[in-house]
Amino acid sequence: MLAPRSRRWSFGRLAETLQRDKLGNTPLLLAYVSLNGVVAVELIRRGGLLPTKNLAGVGVLDSFPPDLPPEAAEQRTAIRRKLLELTDREPEWLDGPHCQICNTKFTLQIRKHHCRHCGRVACSKCAPKDRKLPLPKFKLDKPERLCELCYDALSPVNAAS
């Protein structure tokens, strides 16, 4: 008997959760790190989750070491931008005691914000209030707060380049 539609697993979500290696790497993260954009794009199209992290806390949306050769860094940036553009459903909001971008601890003065595109929890420096765009693909027509990464990937100025 099949589960109700809302509880069925998509191929991408199944791949994200069941096929992790011993270090917790998902197929999406492995494809991204190895610069295999075709596989990464297909996993996103099939429901893969961008904010998923491995056991070391590294995910597709995180910065990688600066010692990458320039062509590899540019290729990863292009793949990440494509993956962000292809995300076609609102993410589940993540939570935590720290900003998932810069690792700043949240306090009464440093509040949590969520990027409406990727779902990561961020501080006001990583998701500034002036970084807002409408997200019509999520049926959000008024400008919504985005993290710097999503804003840069989705901004019409950057999309043209």
Q: In the chain, which residues fall in CATH 3.30.40.10?
A: 90-161
What pLDDT does residue 98 have?
93
Average pLDDT, consecutive stretches of 10 residues, N- to C-terminus, the chain (161 residues): 42 57 88 89 85 83 69 84 86 88 93 93 94 93 93 75 48
pLDDT at 7: 41
Q: Is the dihedral of CA 140, 91, 8, 41 positive or negative?
A: positive
Q: Helix or strand or coil: residue 84?
A: helix
The DSSP 8-state label assigned to residue 67 in this structure reads T
pLDDT of 63 reads 67
Output the pLDDT for position 8.
43
Task: Name beta bridge partners: 53.
Answer: 59
CATH architecture of the domain covering 90-161? 2-Layer Sandwich (3.30)
Sign of CA dihedral 21, 30, 14, 48: positive
Q: What is the pLDDT of residue 68?
A: 66
Q: The tokens of 21 are what?
A: 């290696």
CA atoms within 13 A on the CB side of 119: 15
